[in-house]
């Protein structure tokens, strides 16, 4: 039962292992921990950022479509050091080089552009190819040394000759010194000229061409910091309306703001909040309601939020409750105390939509990730593991046994490995290709192509 | 009793996490600090409600014990808070920040040349007003009244009448228990730095007039 490309339901698809990138050994170097994953607008390029401040870009091979058994493989296209550790002498604090987010700009010319950010500084990188070089200068030798003009007896026209492909990354803009707190999100506006950056208390609006100033559009810092009760956890521009953006909070609310309403969008246009279920109230209720990610659907009609235990889909026209709620790992609700002890309760999971907005995906523990089909209401749990590392091996669905008798092939909650967490996932914008980041490996899965 | 123990354990754990998060690269994370302080507050509320249920008629503490912690001004912790507070509020890295005025008001209170114990006494005076006088030793209350008569800035006064959610204070018993347990916890953790930090962290916990929440909030503000 094969559905059309890009419209596949999460469960009618058979997901197959395609590739895995990264070191094999279990001893994970901290710098190699993947901290963000993002496809570009065409899906041809896949960027990852890590804790060491490096960005690695993979490019999909252009396959011979007639003979392809699977879609093209992703191979390393460019690697560069985006951010370095810095030291804030004023606060005696080290600024981590970890890449928090990468966002691609739509392609306008031969070069590719992306924004990458650490806790304090956003950088615009230009990635360009060089596959030819000029040869045959009259006044210069091939190695660059200048020739004595008196030795030139004939003239020739320099020509471009092919060379081995070189991919160069150069920083074109550096947007610094605008955030006191730690940057958690960047989002490019649909006007492709401006973008926003959000930290714990403020959101700034930038123009891509201007680095020495930005506009503050949201400021939730209280006059007295002792009255602080919530922080901004994520922010995103609407995919179609260039005046609209949303930001989520640590209290589980989402605010939609319209930049046309006023210069400072402290007053929201809409407030999305679900009343708390009193039966679920517990000691840690407040902190697990914190939203770790917010993503608009491609259509712009819906947005998805991820909190510790669930994924919620909101209709922008309905503020009082989400239209759909999916439990990611409800079996953890009774383990919150242990998860607080081992700090796992603070993990920030991301979520993503497929190209047609029919399936959503998010990560969990034990290197499991989950997909929810919004149409069929079916869900599936898969594992990113090197054990299924033969290409085109179909992934076997996993099941966690919450309590009681464990069936064969089920895994009990107590044997889950909480050190193996999938926080970052990405879905190709057009095809059923997904990128799933474990601690230091990047897995690429595709749907089975016959 | 079980509930009390569990709540205490979680409070201690939270303070340890709070301390530990200051040591990590990148400095204090505001969101994490806020979450830790929320758990701390819930644990404290749980502890207090369990305590009230279990010990309706607890004998008042010997007065001699209460002034001691205050007479050991926690210079380290306070200095650390002082050092950190202006940093968090510096206009230098914030070209877009327009809230200069409140910041200027906040920092003098923290870098106050007046002795630390005065501000702590002030805070507890509002606590005794909130009706928990039965658990506060009388001698401490007298010292607080003396402090209340001193002329302090209105800003400080405002800070001492915080919103109800933050108005509750830790009680000497709780503070002492935390101090005992917390320094014990730090001393036996191999990863923790040996001498200075336990002393540093124990002191804020043992300040009887301060609420744990205020300590944490101060750490949050200091960031």
Q: What is the pLDDT of residues A397-421, one digit of tens each?
A: 999 988 777 788 889 999 999 999 9
pLDDT at residue A92 in the model: 86
Q: Chain A window 29-58: which residues touch B at a Cβ cutoff of 8 Å? A: none
Are B209 and B144 within 8 A, CB to CB?
yes
Confidence of residue A450 (pLDDT cuts 50, 70, 90): low
Range among A26-30, A433-437, B76-80 rated most confident: A433-437
pLDDT at residue B34 in the model: 95
Are A442 and A37 within 8 A, CB to CB?
yes
pLDDT at residue B50 in the model: 84
Confidence of residue B60 (pLDDT cuts 50, 70, 90): low
Alpha carbon A228 to its chain's center:
28
Residue A373's DSSP bridge partners are A359
Residue A254's DSSP bridge partners are A248, A272
The DSSP element (H or E) to which B5 belongs, if any, is helix B2-23
Q: Chain B window 77-96: which residues touch A at a Cβ cutoff of 8 Å? A: 84, 87-88, 90, 92-96
Range among A55-69, B54-68, B176-190 rated most confident: A55-69
pLDDT at residue A142 in the model: 81
Residues of chain B with Cβ-Cβ distance to A213 below 8 Å are 95
Which tokens sit at A49? Answer: 């950022």
* Whether pLDDT at B209 is above 60: no
pLDDT at residue B59 in the model: 56
Contact A225 B221 (CB under 8 A): yes
pLDDT at residue A447 in the model: 92
pLDDT at residue B165 in the model: 39
pLDDT at residue A351 in the model: 98
pLDDT at residue B143 in the model: 41
Which tokens sit at B107? Answer: 């920092």
pLDDT at residue A392 in the model: 82
Chain B CA closest to residue A214: B96
Confidence of residue A98 (pLDDT cuts 50, 70, 90): very high
Q: A69-99 in b/e burial notation, b at 16+ Cβ within 10 A?
A: eebbebeebbebebbeebeeeebebebbbbb
Alpha carbons within 13 angstroms on the beta-carbon side of residue B75 total 3
Chain mean pLDDT for chain A: 92
Radius of gyration of chain A (CA): 24
Confidence of residue A11 (pLDDT cuts 50, 70, 90): low
Using the Cβ of B162 and the Cβ atoms of chain A, whether some distance falls under 8 Å is answered with yes
Using the Cβ of A220 and the Cβ atoms of chain B, whether some distance falls under 8 Å is answered with no
* Whether pLDDT at B110 is above 80: no
Confidence of residue A66 (pLDDT cuts 50, 70, 90): low
Contact A341 B13 (CB under 8 A): yes
pLDDT at residue A387 in the model: 84
- The residue of B29, B35, B160 whose CB has the most chain A CBs within 10 angstroms, and thus the best one to mutate to test that interface, is B35
Q: How many CB pairs under 8 A join A and B?
A: 106
- Cα dist from A20 to A349, A381, A421, A444, B89, whole Å: 21, 19, 16, 6, 45
User: Residues with Cβ < 8 Å from A75, sequence gap 6 or more?
Assistant: A58, A59, A61
Which tokens sit at A214? Answer: 């930005």
Segment A432-436 long-range contacts (CB within 8 Å, at least 24 positions apart)? A432/A5, A432/A6, A432/A8, A432/A13, A432/A354, A433/A18, A433/A43, A433/A71, A434/A15, A434/A361, A435/A37, A435/A39, A435/A46, A435/A48, A436/A37, A436/A363, A436/A369, A436/A384
Alpha carbon B48 to its chain's center:
16
Distance from CA of B200 to the nearest CA of A (A): 19
Calculate mean pLDDT across residues A50-74: 83
Q: ipTM of this model?
A: 0.89
Segment A184-187 long-range contacts (CB within 8 Å, at least 24 positions apart)? A184/A100, A184/A101, A184/A232, A184/A233, A184/A234, A184/A235, A185/A100, A185/A101, A185/A234, A185/A235, A185/A236, A186/A101, A186/A103, A186/A115, A186/A117, A186/A122, A187/A103, A187/A235, A187/A236, A187/A237, A187/A245
Distance from CA of B159 to the nearest CA of A (A): 9
Using the Cβ of B191 and the Cβ atoms of chain A, whether some distance falls under 8 Å is answered with no
Which tokens sit at A343? Answer: 């700090």
pLDDT at residue A211 in the model: 97
Rounded Cα distance, B23 and A58, in Å: 35
Chain B CA closest to residue A229: B34
Q: A248-279 in b/e burial notation, b at 16+ Cβ within 10 A?
A: bbbbbbbbbbbbeeeeebeebbbebbbeeeee
Rounded Cα distance, B64 and A417, in Å: 51
Chain mean pLDDT for chain B: 53
pLDDT at residue A83 in the model: 98
Give A285-339 pLDDT, tens digit per residue. Answer: 899 999 999 999 999 999 999 999 999 999 999 999 999 999 999 999 999 999 9
CA A100, A102, A106 angle in degrees (round to 5)? Answer: 160
Calculate mean pLDDT across residues B111-138: 40
Helices B116-129, B138-149: axis angle to 10 degrees equals 110
Are A314 and A305 within 8 A, CB to CB?
yes
Confidence of residue B58 (pLDDT cuts 50, 70, 90): low
Residues of chain B with Cβ-Cβ distance to A91 below 8 Å are 27, 84, 87-88, 90
Rounded Cα distance, A167 and A436, in Å: 25
Confidence of residue B162 (pLDDT cuts 50, 70, 90): very low
pLDDT at residue A397 in the model: 93
* Whether pLDDT at B174 is above 90: no
* Whether pLDDT at A35 is above 70: yes
The DSSP element (H or E) to which A159 belongs, if any, is strand A159-175
Give A179-235 pLDDT, tens digit per residue. Answer: 999 999 999 999 999 999 999 999 999 999 999 999 999 999 999 999 999 999 999
Rounded Cα distance, A225 and B106, in Å: 9
Calculate mean pLDDT across residues B24-46: 90
Rounded Cα distance, A30 and A35, in Å: 11
Length of chain B: 223
In terms of pLDDT, which residue wins out, A173 or A5?
Answer: A173
- Cα dist from A244 to A230, A303, A351, B6, whole Å: 22, 13, 21, 46
Chain B CA closest to residue A234: B31
Q: What is the DSSP string of A67-123?
A: T-SSPPPEEEEEEEE----EEETTTTEEEP----EEEEPPP-SSSEEEEEE-SS-EE
**Cα-Cα end-to-end distance for chain A:** 11
Range among A59-73, A156-170, B82-96 rated most confident: A156-170
- The residue of A52, A99, A226, A337 whose CB has the most chain B CBs within 10 angstroms, and thus the best one to mutate to test that interface, is A226
pLDDT at residue B28 in the model: 85
Are A162 and A131 within 8 A, CB to CB?
yes
Name the DSSP letter for residue A407: P
Rounded Cα distance, A136 and A157, in Å: 7
Closest CA to B140 of B204, B190, B194, B69: B69
Range among B72-86, B116-130, B205-219 rated most confident: B205-219
């Amino acid at each position: 039962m094969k559905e059309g490309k890009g419209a596949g339901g999460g469960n009618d698809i058979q997901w197959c292992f395609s590739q895995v990138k990264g070191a094999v050994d279990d001893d994970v170097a901290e710098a190699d921990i993947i901290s963000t994953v993002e496809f570009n607008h065409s899906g041809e390029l896949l960027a990852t950022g890590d804790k060491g401040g490096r960005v690695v870009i993979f490019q999909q091979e252009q396959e011979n479509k007639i003979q392809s058994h699977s879609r093209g493989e992703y191979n390393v296209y460019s690697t560069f050091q985006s951010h370095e550790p810095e030291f804030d002498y004023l606060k005696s604090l080290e600024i981590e080089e970890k890449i928090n987010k990468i966002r691609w700009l739509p392609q306008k010319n031969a070069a590719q552009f992306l924004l990458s950010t650490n806790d304090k500084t956003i950088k615009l990188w230009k990635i360009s190819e060089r596959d030819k070089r000029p040869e045959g200068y009259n006044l210069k030798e091939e190695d660059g040394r200048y020739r004595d003009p008196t030795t030139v007896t004939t003239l020739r026209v320099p020509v471009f000759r092919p060379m081995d492909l070189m991919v160069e990354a150069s920083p074109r803009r550096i947007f610094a010194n605008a955030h006191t707190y730690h940057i958690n999100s960047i989002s490019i506006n649909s006007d492709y000229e401006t973008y926003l950056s959000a930290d714990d208390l403020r959101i700034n609006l930038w123009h891509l061409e201007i680095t020495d100033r930005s506009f503050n559009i949201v400021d939730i810092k209280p006059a007295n910091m002792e009255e602080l009760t919530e922080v901004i956890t994520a922010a995103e521009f609407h995919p179609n309306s260039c005046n609209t953006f949303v930001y989520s909070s640590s209290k589980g609310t989402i605010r939609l703001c319209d930049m046309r309403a006023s210069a400072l969008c402290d007053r929201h246009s809409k407030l999305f909040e679900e009343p708390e279920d009193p039966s679920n109230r517990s000691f840690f209720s407040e902190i697990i309601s914190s939203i770790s990610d917010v993503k608009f659907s491609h259509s712009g009609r819906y947005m998805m939020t991820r909190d510790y235990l669930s994924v919620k889909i909101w209709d922008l026209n309905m503020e009082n409750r989400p239209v759909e709620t999916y439990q990611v790992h409800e079996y953890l609700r009774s383990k919150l105390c242990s998860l607080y002890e081992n700090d796992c309760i603070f993990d920030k999971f991301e979520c993503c939509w497929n190209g047609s907005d029919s399936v959503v995906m998010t990560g969990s523990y034990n290197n499991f990730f989950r997909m929810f089909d919004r149409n069929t209401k079916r869900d599936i749990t898969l594992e990113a593991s090197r054990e299924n590392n033969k290409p085109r091996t179909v992934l076997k669905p996993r099941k966690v046994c919450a309590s009681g008798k464990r069936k064969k092939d089920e895994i009990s909650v107590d044997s889950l490995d909480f050190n193996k967490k999938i926080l970052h996932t990405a879905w190709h914008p057009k095809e059923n290709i997904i990128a799933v980041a474990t601690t230091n490996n990047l897995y690429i899965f595709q749907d089975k192509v016959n | 009793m079980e509930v009390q123990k569990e709540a205490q354990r979680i409070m201690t754990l939270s303070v340890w996490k709070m301390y530990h998060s200051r040591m990590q690269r990148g400095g204090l994370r505001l969101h994490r600090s806020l979450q830790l302080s929320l758990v701390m507050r819930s644990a404290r509320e749980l502890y207090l409600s369990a305590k009230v249920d279990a010990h309706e008629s607890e004998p008042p503490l010997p007065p001699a014990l209460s002034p001691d912690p205050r007479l050991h001004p926690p210079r380290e912790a306070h200095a650390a808070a002082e050092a950190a507070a202006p940093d968090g509020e510096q206009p230098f890295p914030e070209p877009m920040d327009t809230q200069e005025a409140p910041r200027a008001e906040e920092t003098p209170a923290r870098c106050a040349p007046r002795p630390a114990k005065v501000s702590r006494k002030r805070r507890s005076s509002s606590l005794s007003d909130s009706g928990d006088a039965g658990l506060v030793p009388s001698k401490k209350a007298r010292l607080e009244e003396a402090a209340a008569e001193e002329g302090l800035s209105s800003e400080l006064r405002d800070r001492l009448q915080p919103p109800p959610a933050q108005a509750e204070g830790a009680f000497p018993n709780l503070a002492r228990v935390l101090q005992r347990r917390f320094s014990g916890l730090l001393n036996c953790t191999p990863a923790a730095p040996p001498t200075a930090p336990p002393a540093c962290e124990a002191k804020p916990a043992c300040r009887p007039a301060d609420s744990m929440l205020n300590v944490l909030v101060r750490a949050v503000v200091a960031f």
